[in-house]
Amino acid sequence: MTAPVALDYARIQRRTVGVLAAGQILGGVAFGATVSLGALLARDITGEDALSGFATASVTLGAALAAIPLARLAAKAGRRFALTLGNLLALIGISIVITAAAQSVFALFIVGIVLIGMGNAGNLQSRFAATDLAEPARRGRDLSVVVWATTVGAVAGPLLLGPGEAVGRALGMPVHTGSYIFSLVAQVAAFLLYVIALRPDPLRTAQQRDATSGPAAVADRADRPRVARYAIFAVAASHAVMASVMAMTPIHLQHMTHGDATVIVGITIAAHVAGMYGLSPVFGFISDRFGRVRVILLGQLLLAGALVSAFIGGDSHAGVLVALVLLGLGWSAATVAGSALLTEASAPDRRPKRQGLSDSLMSLCAAVGAVLAGLVLAAVEYRGLALTALVLVVAVTALSPLALKVRDPQS
């Protein structure tokens, strides 16, 4: 009888990271238009600034609803099934949003945005897929490479707003929906990529490896629930700060411009997204080298700088641009380090469940933040919104000793 061939896990991991990175490029294009145009479409349909936050809120609510089911599906059937299901949900959602804009039906628009958010839940879990087979010393870097790959698509997405509007007019589409054509094409391409190339499935391969390695091989993977809880909170709070301020920026810029702000919004959001993803490999490297919690705190420092910049310079395009770039950098540091901390603080059999819970809470907090942001913007304007968001930054910083002082592996 022929002996089973030993798998080259390092080679599989390199291939997996490459496929996930390519998928993130496509996913970035697909979701870039949603982030940039959602608030404007909501306002066009309703005529109310205060309701514009429901667009971003609905994206994040959809992600919150789907994160745990998709994580459970990944645990049972593999990452490939979870990721491709996310692509399908997003495709349906994009089609519904275009239809709702044409008919000016706000409820239908929200349904479509929620489905797009459900698709984004799968996209978010790509970063965890990059850690399934990663060596502990490279976990932050492998995760951050996949996060970084989103830069290409996510920056291109907002910059395609102008060409998208031209395509939309040529096709007779509703205003502000032309860019969704690019989203549709990108989602189809990502779906095919995962179906064809994400083989073998990284999570199932990791599960098989752990099942045959024996207890000695995983003795260093102790479960640390208190650290995991802090990591979940840090990621969720940082995401809520980023989403609430970013969601209201297009509306704030339109008020400042007193007219069509499509180009300015596109450039600002593109710069923000570049901050979110462009330096993620740097944050991944330093989190591997100097520790996860220190990089989470660096992220809070950057977020605080962003909010102060928004408060001081929020009346100028340059000030808003600086604030949005810093906002993206702070989110990147906290998300990369927090996600790596959550993975290594969780025993292998508990990781998918906690990863899904983290994404669900992250998205739910951002959804609530985006809705409240619209109300806060209407009440105390952009500068007041920045000061309000600063409360969460203080909370993440103040609670960091929960992770820094842990010595007992079971704490």
218: pLDDT confidence band, cut at 50, 70 and 90?
A: low
Considering only CA atoms, give the Rg of the chain. 21
HSE-up (13 A, CA, CB side) for residue 67: 25
Q: Is residue 410 part of a domain?
A: no
- Structural domain harbouring 249: 12-207+221-404
Do 127 and 146 form a contact (C-beta atoms < 8 A)?
Answer: yes
Residue whose entry in the numeric block shows the structure tokens 């469940």: 353
216: pLDDT confidence band, cut at 50, 70 and 90?
A: very low
Do 94 and 59 form a contact (C-beta atoms < 8 A)?
Answer: no
For the chain, how many structural domains are there in total? 1
End-to-end CA distance of the chain: 47
- State residue 229's pLDDT score: 95
409: pLDDT confidence band, cut at 50, 70 and 90?
A: very low
Q: Above 80 in pLDDT, residue 114?
A: yes
Task: Please report, for residues 49, 52, 258, 324, 381, the alpha-carbon distance to residue 251 in angstroms, rounded to integers and kept in the order given.
Answer: 7, 8, 11, 14, 11
E-only strand ranges, 45-166: none
Q: Is residue 4 part of a domain?
A: no
Q: Span 224-253, mean pLDDT?
A: 91
Do 115 and 109 form a contact (C-beta atoms < 8 A)?
Answer: no
- CATH code (residue 88): 1.20.1250.20
Do 127 and 274 form a contact (C-beta atoms < 8 A)?
Answer: no
Q: Is residue 170 part of a domain?
A: yes
Q: Is residue 193 part of a domain?
A: yes
Q: Is residue 216 part of a domain?
A: no
405: pLDDT confidence band, cut at 50, 70 and 90?
A: low
Of 122, 107, 11, nearest in space to 66 by CA = 122
Burial class (CB in 10 A: 0-12, 13-18, 19+), 4: exposed
Q: Write out the DSSP string of 13-74.
A: HHHHHHHHHHHHHHHHHHHHHHHHHHHHHHHHHH--GGGTHHHHHHHHHHHHHHHHHHHHHH
Q: Is residue 1 part of a domain?
A: no
Residue 325: both structure tokens together: 């770039």
Do 54 and 72 form a contact (C-beta atoms < 8 A)?
Answer: no
Q: Is residue 340 part of a domain?
A: yes
Q: Is the overall model pTM greater than 0.85, yes or no?
A: no
Q: Is residue 3 part of a domain?
A: no
User: How many Cβ atoms sit within 10 Å of the Cβ of residue 214?
Assistant: 9
C-alpha dihedral sign at 70, 71, 76, 78: positive
